[in-house]
């Protein structure tokens, strides 16, 4: 199923002269992503954090050699997706084939109308249901949360967002890491 779906998406993109861009959303909060760490023998590490649940949403687009991201307060809505899609549309020369999951915000009437107004510059393909492992952007979020911001205890969601933004910018400058995200999804491009 994976090979068939991927082959169809690649053929469609090649036939239409499009760049393939995978997209996914995630969230960050003031609560730390807990990961295993080192400490002195007999001294259990303790994470001190507030128990508030302020949230920051993020959206990421991954092309073959680079990725784009953006943070938004609260939940991501159709307006934020439209705003976000403007960046890769402006920065990439070819028309885009965006690949994402079947979330309700990806199927909204407002988003579909916006896409239709672009005269085919952006078209969408949906990942198969229950197949997050096919989206290499999932690997970006996993790496960020398990390595770059693991055990991060800051005072405000603004500080968490700024720290995560800096780490994502650092990740953007590491081509080997971007290749690893593609390999993690086992997609051959």
pLDDT in tens, 18-76: 988 999 999 987 776 666 666 677 777 765 656 666 788 999 999 888 899 999 998 89
Dist. CA 78–CA 109, nearest whole Å = 9
Q: Tokens for 19? A: 């760049």
Give the per-residue pLDDT at 48.
Answer: 62
Q: What is the pLDDT of residues 92-148, one digit of tens each?
A: 888 999 999 989 999 999 999 999 998 888 999 898 888 888 899 999 999 999 998
pTM confidence score? 0.84
Dist. CA 113–CA 153, nearest whole Å = 41
Dist. CA 143–CA 59, nearest whole Å = 15
Give the per-residue pLDDT at 9.
Answer: 75
Q: Tokens for 22? A: 């995978």
């Amino acid at each position: 199923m994976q090979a068939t779906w991927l082959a169809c998406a690649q053929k469609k993109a090649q036939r239409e002269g499009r760049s393939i861009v995978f997209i996914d959303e995630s969230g960050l909060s003031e609560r730390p992503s807990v990961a295993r760490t080192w400490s002195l023998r007999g001294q259990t590490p303790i994470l001190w954090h507030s128990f508030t649940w302020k949230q920051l949403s993020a959206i990421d687009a991954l092309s073959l050699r680079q990725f784009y991201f953006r943070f938004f307060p609260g939940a991501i809505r159709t307006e934020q997706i439209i705003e976000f899609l403007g960046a890769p549309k402006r920065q990439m020369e070819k028309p885009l084939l965006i690949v994402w999951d079947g979330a309700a915000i990806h199927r909204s009437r407002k988003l579909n109308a916006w896409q239709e107004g672009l005269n085919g510059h952006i078209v969408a393909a949906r990942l198969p249901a229950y197949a997050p492992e096919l989206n290499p952007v999932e690997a970006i979020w996993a790496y960020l949360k398990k390595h770059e911001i693991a055990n991060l205890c800051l005072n405000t969601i603004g500080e968490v967002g700024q720290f995560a933004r800096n780490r994502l910018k650092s990740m953007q400058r590491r081509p080997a890491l971007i290749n690893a995200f593609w390999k993690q999804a086992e997609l051959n491009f």
